[in-house]
Amino acid sequence: MQVTNVNSQLPVTHLEKNLRAVQQRIVRAAEAAQRDPNEITLVAVSKTFPAEMVLAAYELGMRHFGENRVEEAGEKIPRIKSQNPKAEIVWHLVGHLQSRKAKEAAELFNIIHSIDSLSLAQKLDVRAAAIGKRVPVLIEVNVSGEPSKFGFALAARIEFFAAVREMLALRHLDLQGLMTIAPIVSDPNATRPHFRALRLLRDELRAQFPERAWQHLSMGMTDDFEVAIAEGATMVRIGRAIFGERPHP
């Protein structure tokens, strides 16, 4: 019997089909790149989808979920916890974080992908200290240089490495790697230079700051995640290919 969630037009059986297809594509992309698929974390981006869809994906085996907005997550995460208190979900903030939302983000999320300035890192460190938490974070880099995107400018290398040095001294942040958003292009292979640039920057961080593992590269979304995996992604952020088209208000 096909079960449809009352808050969505996407049948649960369709959700399972989508999820399995994405997982298979990740395995194929990893094997083609001679990588272990287990090195790659699939983050299901659930922004705009209801708590019930997250719980349905959880029942299908998903454990990592990404949200773009602190406000939406602040409503959704408690609802999910109330409906399934035993659910062991790792929550990723994958969207832009405003400084004024740092305290709430530190409380809600297990890892934050979007540290795009030293001042934001410092504010988050203070907020994390206040609640006695050490927050895993990724540094967002605007590899493409598009003015519409957040992140450290790839070209400003001196400023970037100076900021990283200061961030490493923040006791309540655990710097684990880098994140980027590639340009929207018709040919996914056109994103390859951007993903490669992020990987090379990560290699430079490992050389300059070997005290950290710099283990994560968060890059690749629905339209380009296979190219990102070929270039070394350890986290791919996928929404549409799992949940379908986002509902319109």
The domain segmentation of the chain, as residue ranges, is 12-243
Residue 26: which of 62, 54, 76, 66 has the closest Cα?
Answer: 62
Instruction: Quote the pLDDT of residue 247.
Output: 66
Residue 66: which of 10, 20, 122, 114 has the closest Cα?
Answer: 114
Q: What's the whole-model pTM score?
A: 0.93
Q: How confident is the model at residue 12 (pLDDT cuts 50, 70, 90)?
A: low
Instruction: Quote the pLDDT of residue 233.
Output: 98
Domain 12-243: CATH superfamily is Alanine racemase (3.20.20.10)
Q: What is the mean pLDDT of residues 101-109?
A: 97
**What mean pLDDT value characterizes the chain?**
93
Give the C-alpha separation, 72 to 48, whole Å. Answer: 8
Instruction: Quote the pLDDT of residue 167.
Output: 98
- pLDDT of 97 strictly over 90: yes
Give the C-alpha separation, 223 to 225, whole Å. Answer: 6
- The structure tokens 């907005």 sit at 69
Instruction: Quote the pLDDT of residue 11.
Output: 58
Distant-in-sequence contacts of 14-19, Cβ < 8 A, 24+ apart: 14/244, 15/53, 15/56, 15/57, 15/60, 15/242, 15/243, 16/60, 18/241, 18/242, 18/243, 18/244, 19/44, 19/57, 19/60, 19/61, 19/62, 19/242
Q: What confidence tens digit (pLDDT) does each residue in 198-248 have?
A: 999 999 999 999 999 999 999 999 999 999 999 999 999 999 999 998 766
- pLDDT of 9 strictly over 90: no
